Amino acid sequence: DCYASSSNLLGNGSCDNMYNKIECGYDDGDCNEFNTDYPSCTVENPRYLGDGICHSRDYNAAECGFDGGDCDEFNYLYPN
């Protein structure tokens, strides 16, 4: 069963990690694109990927598409 502390977060158009599981229908479908595009990405807030802001650490990794492309310019300017 899917336990949703805030049922208004299910299927609201934003992938919420706490509901990104089979029992919750992968957030009622909100996480389908994330799971397809970044199957090895295990960040806490998937909705941050591709939001126009380069988030560091786990988000700026190959398995997360370098924050969904948000960190491409940063990584080009600061390769190390």
pTM equals 0.84
Please determine, for residue 34, whether its predicted confidence score (pLDDT) is greater than 80: yes
Lowest mean pLDDT among 2-6, 22-26, 60-64: 2-6
Tell me what pLDDT residue 3 has. Answer: 84
Phi/psi of residue 38, each to 5°? -135, 65
- Average pLDDT, stretch 30-36? 96
Give every CB contact of residue 6 below 8 A, 6+ residues apart in sequence.
none
Please determine, for residue 78, whether its predicted confidence score (pLDDT) is greater than 90: yes
- Residue (of 61, 42, 70, 5) closest to 31 by Cα position: 42
- Distance separating alpha carbons of residues 46 and 25, to the nearest angstrom: 16
Tell me what pLDDT residue 52 has. Answer: 97
